[in-house]
Amino acid sequence: MKRFCKFFLVAVAATGMVCSCSRDNTLTKAEIAEGWELLFNGEDLSAWKDYNGTELTNGWRVVDGCIQAPGDGSDGSGYIVTKKKYADFELVWDWKLTHGGNSGMIYHVVESPVFGTPYITGPEYQLIDNEGWEEVNAPSKLEEWQKLGVDYAMHLPDYTGVRINPPGQWNTSKIVFDNGHVEHWLNGKKILEFQAWTDDWFARKNSGKWANAPEYGLAHEGLICLQDHGDPASFKNLKIRELPHKGGETVSLFNGKDLTGWEGFGSGKWSVDAEGNLVTENGDDRQYGYLCTRAYYKDFDLTVEFNQVSDGNSGLFFHSFIEGYNRVHGWQCEVAPRGNDTGGIYESYGRGWLIQIPEEKESILKEHEWNTLRLRVEGDHVQTWLNGQPMADITDAKIGAATGRLMLQIHDGNNIIVKWRNFKLTTL
């Protein structure tokens, strides 16, 4: 094949034609067998759309077999996303920038009108012309966490042994996200590696740029996103291979000693009593409060015990996220005084009750005693049990398409105290 191309190049040189022994934006038979798929076919942008939109309207186009950003985006606009979500994957792409150019590849992006930009939820592999950007924007200087190849504002790369081609020439990047293990590659060299959702990861998240972005980086799946940050950028050979999800993990949500792994929002009070129970109660202003896992859980089987010491108007939220101070979007497995559908499923800021429990099952709740609640979520299917008795069983595509935190709610009101213990969660 090499010999053929050599003679063919000589034959066509006078015509200006170009010979290539490989074709852009295609997959080999071996790649197809390995599970690779193209995110761009070289002809159109049928796999892409506007962020938080249904169509492609913001100027991105195909030029000479490449995806091209128009260069008129900004921090708050100019993003396109895949129509398909991805969880664990290996993603490879070629890219080139103009002098001083700035762009990015973002993943695990969550769409919602609540999130104005993709990077509020999705981690970013930064694409930028380090030296050119500083020349164009002098006297401004890039911070180390803003430079090429970083896990933006989180982890820094090591460029040792890496050749970086200048603006106008192609470079190749790769992201590997394998059940929380993350790698960034540049032109065939691994430049950084880290584990998501560890204590170190959360310390970085909560002490830097993302301190006021509570949902940043928590999603275990989401859309792939290309960024137009005000500079023309070109992309080709975008391909992705999904990696197997590892379920069956037993997760320790509560250690019986302190609130490690939890974050409080709103006005509730949270503590651990002398018996090792997690205590949730009203704050001083008697408004809503939420104690949330710092991690997201999508498919899981959770069992927990609760005791409604006083009033008991509460709930176990799932596939949920926080907006602002104490506004929650997602779904709630109801925990409330007798007569108020404990074990039913309610959608906050949406459709309201999806399923309530039959009146004859209200007596299953043991008031002011310990109860066992089980919540199982697998894809579109949600089931609940209270003290071993089935309470709710629904199939809902909207739930199946979402992900999010687990949250313990304290309702607004007066003198609400609920205790929790023996959390047992298995990922599916």
Which of the four pLDDT bands, split at 50, 70 and 90, describes residue 247? confident
Angstrom CA distances, 204 to 148, 153, 159, 207, 265, stand at: 19, 8, 21, 5, 20
Supply the pLDDT for residue 36: 98
CA dist 393 and 383 (Å) reads: 4
For residue 147, pLDDT beyond 80: yes
Average pLDDT over residues 101-119: 96
Sequence letter at residue 395: T
CB-based contacts of 6, cutoff 8 Å, min separation 6: none
Average confidence (pLDDT) over 152-177: 97
Rounded Cα gap, residues 21 and 12, in angstroms = 14
Write out pLDDT tens, residues 196-231. 999 999 999 999 899 999 999 999 999 999 999 888
What is d(CA 394, CA 354) in angstroms, rounded to the nearest whole number? 8
**pLDDT, tens only, 382-416:** 999 999 999 999 999 999 999 999 999 999 888 89
Question: Is the predicted pLDDT of residue 295 greater than 80, yes or no?
Answer: yes
Calpha distance 404→319 (Å, rounded): 4
pLDDT of residue 283: 86
Length of the chain: 428
Does 137 score more than 60 pLDDT?
yes
Q: Using H for helix, E for strand and C for coil, what is the string for the chain?
A: CHHHHHHHHHHHHHHCCCCCCCCCCCCCHHHHHCCEEECCCCCCCCCEEECCCCCCCCCCEEECCEEEECCCCECCECEEEEEEEECCEEEEEEEEECCCCEEEEEEEECCCCCCCCHHHCCCEEEEECHHHHHHHCCCCCCCHHHCCCCECCCECCCCCCCCCCCCCCCEEEEEEEECCEEEEEECCEEEEEEECCCHHHHHHHHHCHHHHCCCCCCCCCEEEEEEECCCCEEEEEEEEEECCCCCCCEECCCCCCCCCCEEEEECCEEEECCCCCEEEECCCCCCCEEEEEEEECCCEEEEEEEEEEECCCEEEEEEEEEECCCEEEEEEEEECCCCCCCCCEEEECCCEEEECCCHHHHHHCCCCCEEEEEEEEECCEEEEEECCEEEEEEECHHHHCCCCEEEEEECCCCCCEEEEEEEEEEEC
Q: Is 70 exceeded by the pLDDT of residue 20?
A: no
| Average pLDDT, integer, range 10-35 | 66
Using the predicted structure, report yes or no on whether residue 2 has a pLDDT greater than 90.
Answer: no
Asked if 193 contacts 182 with a C-beta cutoff of 8 angstroms, the reply is yes
pLDDT > 70 in the chain, percent: 95
Of 313, 362, 318, 367, the residue nearest 341 (C-alpha): 362
The confidence band for 77, taking pLDDT boundaries of 50, 70 and 90, is confident
Q: How confident is the model at residue 274 (pLDDT cuts 50, 70, 90)?
A: very high
Is residue 187's pLDDT more than 90? yes
Q: Could you give the CA distance from residue 288 to residue 240 in angstroms, rounded to a whole number?
A: 42
Give the C-alpha separation, 287 to 265, whole Å.
Answer: 11
Residue 90's pLDDT is 98
The whole-angstrom separation of Cα 419 and Cα 200 is 29
Q: How far is CA 99 from the centre of its chain?
A: 31
Range in 65-74, 233-242, 416-425 with the lowest mean pLDDT: 65-74
Q: CB-based contacts of 5: which residues, under 8 Å, 6+ apart?
A: 19, 21
**pLDDT of 104 strictly over 50:** yes
Single-letter amino acid code for the residue at 201 = W
- pTM greater than 0.85 (yes/no): yes
Average pLDDT, the chain: 92
CATH classification number, 250-427, choose in 2.60.120.560, 3.40.50.800, 2.40.160.50, 3.40.50.10260:
2.60.120.560
Specify the fold of 16-242. Answer: Jelly Rolls (2.60.120)
Please, which pLDDT band fits residue 23 given cuts at 50, 70 and 90? confident
Q: Which two tokens stand for residue 340?
A: 């108020």
399 vs 239: CA distance, rounded Å: 28
296-325 residue pLDDT tens: 999 999 999 999 999 889 999 999 999 987
- Assigned token pair, 402: 């979402």
Encoded tokens for 139 = 């006297």
**Residue 284 has what pLDDT?**
85
Domain span(s) for CATH 2.60.120.560 in the chain: 16-242, 250-427
Is the predicted pLDDT of residue 8 greater than 70, yes or no?
Answer: no
Ramachandran region, residue 281 (left: φ > 0; alpha: ψ -120 to 50; beta: rest): beta
What residues are paired with 265 via a beta bridge?
Answer: 290
